[in-house]
Amino acid sequence: MAQPDPAAMGKVAVLFGGRSAEREISLRSGGGVLAALQRKGVDAHAFDPADRPMDDLRREGFARAFIALHGRYGEDGTVQGALELLRIPYTGSGVLASAIAMDKVRTKEIWAARGLSTPPSMVLRRGDVLREVPDHLGLPLIMKPPHEGSTLGVSKVLGYSEVNEAFETAARYDDEVLAEEFIEGPELTVAILGAGPQARALPVIEIRAPGGNYDFENKYNTHDTQYLCPAPLAADVTDAVQALALAAYRAIGCEGWGRVDLMLRARDSQPFLLEVNTSPGMTDHSLVPMAARATGLSYEDLVLQVLAGASLKIGGAA
Ligand SMILES: Nc1ncnc2c1ncn2[C@@H]1O[C@H](COP(=O)(O)OP(=O)(O)O)[C@@H](O)[C@H]1O
Ligand SMILES: [Mg+2]
């Protein structure tokens, strides 16, 4: 692909920080993106939506925005909606895809309707008879809040006696709780660049956390988790995983870039979709940059390419 021209990007706002539970991660992502764009010669500036009104973007003459926010008010369609109203092109998915991807229950409903493989699940609310959950999903099972990220509120339930506590842990974050069949096998993630028919999957990454426990600590604070890229899978399994991830991304209507998380069932190598992240981590040791490097695309060039894809997704007169 031809290198985008840094000078043609105009004045660029890197949106990072924000008000979500993932603010700290966003500070790391945005700091990396800002420095990379500046090294490339882009006129890029930090902009923290927690500190100032979005209107400032237009008043200060920004031509486009790189969204390096995670979680609520950043990855969920709200900031995307504000940028549509301001008519400032932005990176990544639009309002609808961002909002759907933020909700694992609705995301799974769309995947299931398209026949895309995702673990069997139940949606639970306070007052439901929880002891019936293992009868339907088997043991172990997973419980998680449908709207969080970074593994907050996620529990692995080994027996009937643990169901209530896992529900309470997830219910701290959401009114609905998602229970899923536990998929035993390696954890995979697939970065995707582009939109629609042009979207392409990068090499698959396999994540090996200590004891198979890929929690917040192992994601961000320890050095014990191993990342294998490209994942050491048979060629036909790699192809199936990439095709499933790409179909999952397109089904939600994602654009620009994103990352699809999956589990690969060890006993039959069947992949199962967990979620799509529309504003994935973007520090220089995050997973999307790792996958890009495996194709020869440097961190700086990846960031510039994502920026060059910035667009308005809602057309018509405004
Ligand atoms: N159905 C499942 N089977 C096995 N492990 C799971 C399952 N769902 C989630 N996990 C584990 O929990 C982690 C977090 O779950 P995920 O759905 O990706 O939510 P988050 O938005 O918190 O990243 C995954 O990375 C994986 O290690
Ligand atoms: Mg995940």
Cβ-based neighbour number of residue 276 at 10 Å: 26
Cβ-based neighbour number of residue 69 at 10 Å: 30
Mapping DSSP onto H, E and C, the string for 83-132 reads HHHHCCCECCCCHHHHHHHCCHHHHHHHHHHCCCCCCCEEEECCCCCHHH
Into how many domains does the chain fold? 3
Task: Tell me, yes or no, whether 305 lies in a domain.
Answer: no
pLDDT per residue rounded down to tens, the chain (318 residues): 568 999 999 999 999 999 888 899 999 999 999 999 999 999 999 999 999 999 999 999 999 999 999 988 999 999 999 999 999 999 999 999 999 999 999 999 999 999 999 999 999 999 888 999 999 999 999 999 998 766 789 999 999 999 999 999 999 988 999 999 999 999 999 999 999 889 999 999 999 987 666 565 556 566 778 999 999 999 999 999 999 999 999 999 999 999 999 999 999 999 999 999 999 999 988 999 999 999 999 999 999 999 999 999 998 644
Name the DSSP class of 218.
I
Q: Are residues 270 and 217 in the same domain?
A: yes
pLDDT of residue 220: 58
Outline where 259-298 has alpha helix (H).
287-293
Q: By C-alpha distance, which of 57, 13, 25 is closest to 283?
A: 25
Task: Tell me, yes or no, whether 203 lies in a domain.
Answer: yes
Question: Any residues with Cβ below 6 Å from ligand 1, and which?
Answer: 119, 142, 144, 148-151, 154, 180, 182-183, 187, 214, 261, 263, 274-275
Task: Tell me, yes or no, whether 214 lies in a domain.
Answer: yes
**159 is a catalytic site residue:** no
Contact 55, 70 (CB under 8 A): no
**281 is a catalytic site residue:** yes
CATH number at residue 268: 3.30.470.20
Q: Are residues 81 and 199 in the same domain?
A: no
Q: Are residues 107 and 125 in the same domain?
A: no
CA–CA distance, 81 with 18 (Å, rounded to integer):
15
Contact 204, 243 (CB under 8 A): no
Q: Are residues 177 and 190 in the same domain?
A: no
pTM listed for this prediction: 0.95
pLDDT of residue 213: 60
Q: Are residues 202 and 265 in the same domain?
A: yes
Radius of gyration of the chain (CA): 19
**135 is a catalytic site residue:** no
Q: Are residues 113 and 248 in the same domain?
A: yes
Task: Tell me, yes or no, whether 161 lies in a domain.
Answer: yes
Q: Are residues 195 and 105 in the same domain?
A: yes
CATH number at residue 61: 3.40.50.20
CA–CA distance, 29 with 7 (Å, rounded to integer):
23
Contact 165, 241 (CB under 8 A): no
Tell me how far the alpha carbon of residue 277 lies from the centroid of ligand 1, in angstroms.
12
Dihedrals phi, psi of 201, to nearest 5 degrees? -90, 140
Tell me how far the alpha carbon of residue 79 lies from the centroid of ligand 1, in angstroms.
26
CA–CA distance, 55 with 102 (Å, rounded to integer):
25
Tell me how far the alpha carbon of residue 312 lies from the centroid of ligand 2, in angstroms.
27
**220 is a catalytic site residue:** yes
Task: Tell me, yes or no, whether 261 lies in a domain.
Answer: yes
Q: Are residues 230 and 104 in the same domain?
A: yes
CA–CA distance, 65 with 18 (Å, rounded to integer):
14
Q: Are residues 112 and 218 in the same domain?
A: yes
**259 is a catalytic site residue:** yes
Range of the domain at 269: 100-117+184-278
Tell me how far the alpha carbon of residue 68 lies from the centroid of ligand 2, in angstroms.
17
Name which residue sits closest to atom 14 of ligand 1, judged by CA. Answer: 151
pLDDT of residue 3: 82
pLDDT of residue 210: 77
Contact 286, 259 (CB under 8 A): no
Q: Are residues 110 and 256 in the same domain?
A: yes
CATH number at residue 167: 3.30.1490.20
